[in-house]
Amino acid sequence: MGMSFSYGPPADKKEMISLLRAAVERGVTFFDTAEVYGPYTNEELLGEALSPLRDQVVIATKFGFNLDPKHDPRGMQGSPGLDSRPEQIKKVAEGSLKRLKIDVIDLFYQHRVDSDVPIEDVAGAVKDLIQEGKVKHFGLSEAAAKTIRRAHAVQPVAAVQSEYSLWTRGPEAEVLPTLEELGIGFVPYSPLGKGFLTGKIDQNTTFDKSDFRNTVPRFTPEARKANQALVELLARIGQGKNATPAQIALAWLLAQKPWIVPIPGTTKLARLEENIGAASVGLTAADLREIESAASTIKVQGARYPEKLEQLTGR
């Protein structure tokens, strides 16, 4: 996502194609996009970068926003228009296949639950696409446990993607136990707290005017100052492991369950290599207890989304 929008101006396309291919060379196999990222340009970027390497990668994309100009075309700024009507889902699939230059979408997520369309109808539409050979697997993003169960009864859900990290732990209450029971994988997005858990952001950091974080309550200077305690914890654990705060944040996620696959984003080769390095950072049971104990005393300040966007989650 960050290659095309949300975190400041889009990155250079040629550089991003090179970076995506470098990721594959280093063993990364799973890539996540959505039609709303850009909109459209992120899928086009992935299509150009990865179509020559199609047999080495798994590509996930998402449907569920109305990108009509009368609605908010960004889907992340202001108030996005949701649209998960079956005919819209099928139309989005055709567009995504073309932009990604592929003949089947490996994992097709509903980007946000649309309360105007029964989840059974959504699952049924994706089931049709699977039967037509245009999609392999069905996913949900930011869905509530009861919604996941209803969808899964119509078409097995392969993965749920929601925000999850040491500073966003909402899924632990109901979603993760439901996924474990049903045998569904979990894909944490923003596993580095939109960059905050890397330790590279403090109360004095300024973001580009187009950066989405300017609108996020958790990124006000006051909240950033209060939330530094979490980064200090990651840094302290990292010192004993010769690892960065970002690597500890990712290693913590990887240590939670074998079926959890975080998707850190980056536009820099050095950060890509740092993130990959997290897979070889071992956290012992004692390390995890220490992190848990320390984290339990830290109250994260600020909501993770502006109110309008927060209302689209947990449905």
**Cα-flanking dihedrals φ and ψ of residue 95, to 5°?**
-65, -40
Amino acid (1-letter code) at residue 285: A
Q: Which long-range contacts (CB under 8 A, 24 or more apart) does 297-300 make?
A: 298/227, 298/229, 298/230, 298/233, 300/167, 300/168, 300/218, 300/227, 300/230
Residue 164 bears catalytic tag: no
CA distance 241 to 283: 9
Catalytic residue among 37, 164, 189, 305: 37
CA distance 2 to 267: 7
| Alpha-helical segments (H) within the chain | 13-25, 41-50, 86-100, 119-131, 145-154, 175-182, 221-239, 245-256, 269-277, 285-295, 307-310
Amino acid (1-letter code) at residue 232: E
Bridge partners, 159 (sequence order): 139, 185
Active-site residue set: 37
